[in-house]
A = this chain, B = another copy of it.
Amino acid sequence: MKVYKAHIIYTPRREEFHVLENGYVAVGRDGRVVCVGSSLEALGCPDAEVLDFGNRLLIPAMNDVHVHAAQYHNQGIAMDLELLPWLQNYTFPEESKFSDSSYAELIYRRFVENMKRVGTMRAVVFATIHTEGTRRLMNIFREAGMGALVGKVAMNRNCPDSLQEGVADYVSGMEQLVAESTEPDALVRPIVTPRFIPSCTPEMLRACSEVARRYNLPVQSHLSENLSEIELVRQLEPESQGYGDAYRRYGLFGDTPTVMAHCVWSDEAERRLIRDGGVMVAHCPTSNFNVASGMAPIRTYLDEGISVGLGSDISGGHDLSIFRMMVYAIQVSKMHYQRSNHEQPFLSLSEAFWMATKSGGSFFGKVGSFEEGYDFDALVIDDANLFPADYNILQRLERFIYVGDDRNIVHRFCRGKEVCLAE
């Protein structure tokens, strides 16, 4: 057992922070939290050896529930383009390059290193259609000791030939990746990833559903990101009641754990399907700004009992930091607050933090909190450059989130093991 001491902050419930000033957390050999307390006696282990982080903050690590690893090279470029030319001139050509496994290896290493740097220990990731590239990405995550659900992407229509793969090849590629991921409770696993309805024929969508069910794999995709996309899906799937319903009819909407990115424009009926399917919404506020999609009404989702996590959505999003996503999520909700004449409350910091930790983390298991039995995924924050003596613990956390950056993250843990930067 290991015991760490620091100012411990986490969100067992979204309404408020739980703070232990100079608190202790005991972590078992399996990397899970045994207990937290305000003294070693309270922990029931008065003689334990303690690693004391002093005046630093100890918080759950970040979870990114929607990000395209294969778009990492395009992070922060082509922001002046609209969605279609952006896809055609930048995104698709870039993803095509991942047929070259050494290129994939190069970019994916950069990506994972930066994810580590910004304090994200778990991610739900899009790779590309390429099985070998996807395998490389999974191995890089394994090597780093981080957690990831990695998606070999299913696409067989409405995109360049170089990014299409037949249904049989897709299934066979998935089966290889599944066969290589048999370790129980593994940190890195495959996830079924139809890109979105417009990229997949009905046969492909049915194959995805079948693979998910057969191997008990989670599912990720995109949903109701922008209005013209929704209209396109309506034309492609005239028998469905809407975009979410189309996924549902193919068995891809909660039959296994499912996360859908964006949901900017989900109407009441779709939101009901999301909630009833237990589907998680990946809220990607920077991407929704950059691609001019709109502002997702996250308060409404939470009120309706929908599960929400935060996603960086590189490279529609430009920033890999989930701390920055918290800030943006609050800002977006403040625009809904303003427009509703202050009737709909904006998101509090604890709610944003909870989405980034315990709520988003729930997609990976017991992740994102320091409650008993949770994986010890944690960050140690040194805010010495932010004048900590002038502020209380929660203000220090707020300042780190709003003003700090990766320089303040001095230790990273995933399931109890320290994750170190490459340099």
Contacts and interface: CB of A to CB of B under 8 A. Distances in A.
Contact of A387 (B110, B290, B293, B318): B110
Nearest to A332: B289
A250 to B, nearest CB: 29
Nearest to A402: B76
A90 to B, nearest CB: 10
B76 A331 contact: no
Contacts of A331: 286, 289-290
- Interface residue tally of chain A, by bracket? 35 or more
A80 B353 CA distance: 13
Contact of A318 (B76, B82, B402): B402
A337 interface: yes
B77 A319 contact: no
A294 B338 contact: yes
Given A110-B387, A318-B403, A334 B289 contact: yes
Given A292-B335, A390-B73, A402 B330 contact: no
Interface string A55-78: 000000000000000000101110
A391 to B, nearest CB: 7
Interface stretch (A30-38, A140-148, A216-224, A393-401): A393-401
Contacts of A391: 77
The 9 closest A-B pairs by CB, nearest first: A76-B402, A289-B331, A76-B403, A292-B334, A76-B399, A318-B402, A77-B395, A292-B338, A292-B337
